[in-house]
A and B are shown apart, each in its own frame.
Chain A
Amino acid sequence: GQQLNQSPQSMFIQEGEDVSMNCTSSSIFNTWLWYKQDPGEGPVLLIALYKAGELTSNGRLTAQFGITRKDSFLNISASIPSDVGIYFCAGQGRNYGQNFVFGPGTRLSVLP
């Protein structure tokens, strides 16, 4: 099955910096979800997006549903050490019924 593309694959940033990552697909999606996963734990849902162009915030996190419906973006402002982890995007579209497809993740490291 198809998987989404996420970039960057990994990133190292200084505490306090802003972070941007994105997720792209060759297919159109109706829903985008963003998750954070800590080592050895299940992914935790951060933000859900349901409409093209939608911009949604959750604290220091902001995510956008791309206008083309083939991409989504996640921004983290003023990063802190607990932001460390792997961030996954997931998309749901007509091609996959009600199932979601997942990106390989962006691994974020925050340096003090």
Chain B
Amino acid sequence: DGGITQSPKYLFRKEGQNVTLSCEQNLNHDAMYWYRQDPGQGLRLIYYSQIVNDFQKGDIAEGYSVSREKKESFPLTVTSAQKNPTAFYLCASSFGLAGVATQYFGPGTRLLVL
């Protein structure tokens, strides 16, 4: 099956702890994205990567970090500097040039703070 997988589905973080959310895709897409979703709001872009070994900050990158060592993988670390991490995190990937692109989402990871 082609698609995007995220793990875990639920994640609990203690105060001062860093946690890492996994995102893997086997769609052979070049671009990958991380979004944060809060209740009643649209998706906000955290980080994105257009190619391997390169990534850019989105609108709300503070307190988060990413890496893109492989085309298939784009893990997101929520650091202790992120003071309000409770949210639903969505990973996405896309193909195509601007103007003909399509973006697909993974099933999401819900992060809760203990």
Contact = CB atoms under 8 A, between A and B. Distances in A.
B109 to A, nearest CB: 10
Given A98-B31, A103-B42, A30 B107 contact: no
Interface residues of A, number: 27
A94 B31 CA distance: 17
A44 B42 contact: no
A35 B37 CA distance: 14
Grouping DSSP codes into helix (H, G, I), strand (E, B) and loop, the B interface class, with mixed when no group exceeds half, is: strand
B63 interface: no
Given A40-B108, A40-B110, A100-B94, 20 more contacts: A1-B59, A33-B102, A42-B105, A42-B106, A42-B107, A42-B108, A45-B102, A88-B42, A90-B43, A92-B98, A92-B101, A94-B98, A97-B98, A98-B101, A99-B33, A99-B48, A100-B101, A102-B35, A102-B42, A105-B42
